[in-house]
Structure 1
C-alpha cells in the first residue's frame, strides 16, 4: 500500500519535475548525479522560500526607511515649531517683564504722589482745625468785648446822670467807647477772613479728595494688569512642575534657600509706622510682589530641572521607558546619525564622564532637587568630572558604544536614585513652552 502511494506521488511529481541526470566528466572517468523528482521539489521549495524571504525583507527595509524619513521630517517640523513657540513665549515673557517693571515704576510714582497728596491733605486739615480754633477764640473775644461795651454803656449812662460835674469823665468814656468800637470792627474783619480761609481750605480738601480718587482708579487699573500678567505667567509654570510630579512649594522653598539675599524693589511694602493694619492697595501690591518673586524662583528652578530635550536635531524615538523583552528599560532611546550633538537638559555638575559596562561611554550630571540625568552609548565625551554645565550646553556626541544595537542616545532621569520616565519632564515642558 505504501509502495503504491509512493509510486503515485513519484509519477505525479515526474510530470512537473522529470528525473534528470547531471554528468561529471574527467580525463579518465565519467560520473553522473541523479536528481529525483523529490530532490528537485525540495530544492525548488528551498529556492522559493529564499526568494520570498528576500522580497519580504526588502519590503520591510523599504517601508522602515520611508517611515523613518517621514518621522525625521515630522520631527524636524515639530522641532522648528517648538523652537518658534519657545522664541515667541520668550519674547512674550520679556515683554510681560518689561510691562511689569514699567507698571511697578508707575505704581511707585503713583504711591509717591498719593503720599505727597495725603501729606498736603493732612496739612490742610491741620490748617482748617487751626482756623476753626482761631474762629472760636475770636468769637469768644468778640463776646467778651461786647459784654465790656455793654458794661461801659451802662457806666456811661450812670455818669451822665451825675450832672455837669462829670463832663470830663463823660469825655473819657466817649473815647473809650470809640476805641472799643474800632476794636470790634477789626475783630469782625479778622473773623470774616478766618471764615473765608476755612472755606478755601475745605474747597482744596475736596479737590484733593477728587484727585486721590482718580489716582486710586488708575492704581486699581495698574493692579489689575499686573495681577493678570502674574496669573498668565505663574500658573503654567506651576502646572509644569506638578505634571512632572514635583511639589512646587517644596521646589520654591529649596530655591529660596539658595537665593536668600534680601533688599531692593521687591521687598514688601509698608506705609504705616503706627501699628495700623495695611490697606487694601498695600495688600494687593504685596501679593503682586510675592507673585513676581515666585515667577523668578520658578524661572531659576526650571533651569535646574531637566525640562528640555537632550537632542535638538531631527532624531527618531525608538524605545520608551518601561519593560522591554522582559527586562526593565530605565530610560528613553533617541536614534540619529553618528556624532549627533548631545546637550545637557538642566544646570548641574558632572559626576561621571567615562566608560561604564553596558552603558558604554556615559555622562552623569547631578542636578538640584535630588535629580540625576544620564547620557549613554556616546561616541565622544566633551566634559570632565567636577565641571559645571548649563542647560543647552553640548556635552557629547551620539554613538554606539556599550551594549547597543545601533547608533542612538540612551537618556535617563533619576530622582533620589530611582529611574523615572524622562518623557514626563519633556512633555511637561512642551505643554508650557
Structure 2
C-alpha cells in the first residue's frame, strides 16, 4: 500500500518535474548528474521559500523605514512646535520682565510722590493752623478795639455833657482861670480821643480786610489740600490694587496675609500715627479722616511690601534659560516642579526671604537645597553643581543659593524648582505669573 502511494506520487511529480540530467564535461571525461522529480521539488520549494522570505523581509524593512521616517518627522515637528512655544514663552517672559521693571519704576515714583505730597500736606496743615491762630488773634484784637472805642465814645459824651452844663454861681478870678484850664484840658482830651477813635476805626477796618484775606487764603488752602488728598488717594488706589490682584492670583487671601504680617509687626507710633487736625477737641473732622485713611493705605502698602518679600513671587534663575518641563504628569509620573535648563554654573537666586533648612544630597534630587519661607511655603532647588548656603542661614530676596548642575537623576544641566505649601506641591508658575504683573 505504501509502495503504491509512493509510486503514484512519483508519477504525479514526473508530470510536473520530469527527470533531468545535468552533464558536466571536462577535457578527459564526461559526467552527469540526474535530477529526480523529488530533488527538483525540494529545490523549487527551497527557492520559493527563499524568494518569499526575501520579499517579506524587504517589505518589513520598507514598512519599518517608512514608519521610522514618519515617527522621526513627527518628532521633528513636535520639537519645532515645542521650540516655537518655548521661544514664545521666552519672549513673553522678557515682555513681562520689562513690564515688571516699568511697574517697579512707577511704584517707586509713586512712593516718592506720596512722600513729597505727605510733606506738603503737613506743611499745609501747619500753615492752616498758623492762619487759624492769626485769625483768632485778629478777632480778639478787633473785639478789644471795639470795646475801647465804645469806652472812648462814652467818655467823650460825658465830657461834652459836662461842658454844656449851666453855671449859675458867680465865679471869682481864680475860678475863671481854673475854668479856662479845664476847658483847655477838655479840648486836648477831646482831640486825643478823636485821634484814638480814628485810629481804632482804621485798625478795625484793617482787621476786617485782613480777616477777609485770611478767610480767602484759608479757602484756597483747603482746596489745595483737597487736591493733594485726591492725588494721594488715586496714587494709593493705583499702587495697592495690583498687589491685591497678585496675592489673589497666587491663591492667597490678602486680608489673611496682611493680618499675619501685622501680628509680626505689631508696634505702633512713628510717622503713621493717626493725625488730629482739630485743636479744639470733639469729633474727627473730614480732613483728618481722609489723612488717616491715606495713612492706613500707606500702612497697607508697607505690609504688602513686607509680605511680598517673604513669598516666592520672583524667578530663581535670571540669566539665559529655557523651560524644559512644567508642573504636572510626565512620562506617567507626577512632576512636582518646573525645570529651567541653563549651562552648568548659572547662578540660582532666592525668590523671597527665608531660612535654609536642608543642604545636601537627596537621592534623585542630587544636590538639593530647601528654604522655608513665611505662610508655610517651602522652595526646593535640585540638581545643583555647587551649593553656596548653609543650614540655618537667613536669606533675603536675590541672595545666591547655588549653581545649576546635572547631579542626581537628570538628563542634562537644569534647575528643578519646587514650591510646597504645607508640604503639598503646587505649580511654581502660579506664583511667578502672579509676581510678573508687579515686580
- Within 5 Å, give how 1:14-413 maps onto structure 2: 35-149=49-163, 153-154=165-166, 156=167, 158-159=168-169, 176=182, 179-260=185-266, 262-312=268-318, 313-321=320-328, 328-404=334-410, 407-413=413-419
Q: 1:430 aligns with which of 404, 429, 436?
A: 436
Contact 1:71/1:316 (CA < 8 Å) preserved in 2? no
Cα deviation, residue 370, structure 1: 1.8
Structure 2: tracts of 5 or more residues without a match = 1-42
The answer for the alignment partner of 2:36 in structure 1 is none
Q: Would the alpha carbon gap of residues 260 and 285 (structure 1) be closer, same or farther in structure 2, given more than 3 Å must change? A: same
The answer for the alignment partner of 1:22 in structure 2 is none
Matches of 1:72 and 1:327, distance apart in 2: 22
Cα deviation, residue 366, structure 1: 0.5
Q: Would the alpha carbon gap of residues 208 and 273 (structure 1) be closer, same or farther in structure 2, given more than 3 Å must change? A: closer
Contact 1:320/1:331 (CA < 8 Å) preserved in 2? yes
TM-score scaled by length of structure 1: 0.80
Q: Equivalent residue of 1:136, what SS?
A: helix
Question: 1:139-174: CA deviations, max 9, x gaps?
Answer: 333344444445xx14x1x326xxxx8787576556
Cα deviation, residue 250, structure 1: 2.7
User: Which has the higher mean CA deviation after the structures are superposed, 212-221 or 377-386?
Assistant: 377-386
User: Which has the higher mean CA deviation after the structures are superposed, 365-374 or 392-401?
Assistant: 392-401
Structure 1: tracts of 5 or more residues without a match = 1-31
Matches of 1:341 and 1:38, distance apart in 2: 63
User: Over alpha carbons, which structure has the higher Rg?
Assistant: 2
Contact 2:313/2:431 (CA < 8 Å) preserved in 1? yes
Contact 2:100/2:436 (CA < 8 Å) preserved in 1? no
Q: Would the alpha carbon gap of residues 135 and 337 (structure 1) be closer, same or farther in structure 2, given more than 3 Å must change? A: same
Question: 1:24-58: CA deviations, max 9, x gaps?
Answer: xxxxxxxx985434422331233123312431342
Cα deviation, residue 339, structure 1: 4.8
The answer for the alignment partner of 1:5 in structure 2 is none
Matches of 1:328 and 1:66, distance apart in 2: 25
Contact 1:319/1:334 (CA < 8 Å) preserved in 2? no
The answer for the alignment partner of 2:33 in structure 1 is none
Q: Would the alpha carbon gap of residues 178 and 379 (structure 1) be closer, same or farther in structure 2, given more than 3 Å must change? A: closer
Cα deviation, residue 202, structure 1: 0.8
Matches of 1:37 and 1:374, distance apart in 2: 63
**Which ranges of 4 or more aligned residues in structure 1 deviate by more than 6 Å?**
165-168
Matches of 1:175 and 1:311, distance apart in 2: 106
Contact 2:383/2:406 (CA < 8 Å) preserved in 1? yes
Question: 1:155-197: CA deviations, max 9, x gaps?
Answer: x1x326xxxx878757655654554454344333322322221
Q: Give RMSD over aligned pairs.
A: 3.0
Matches of 2:146 and 2:375, distance apart in 1: 67
Q: Equivalent residue of 2:315, what SS?
A: coil
Matches of 2:351 and 2:146, distance apart in 1: 73
Contact 2:97/2:436 (CA < 8 Å) preserved in 1? no
Q: Equivalent residue of 2:375, what SS?
A: helix
Matches of 2:67 and 2:332, distance apart in 1: 28
Matches of 2:115 and 2:342, distance apart in 1: 44
Matches of 1:288 and 1:87, distance apart in 2: 26
Contact 1:68/1:316 (CA < 8 Å) preserved in 2? no
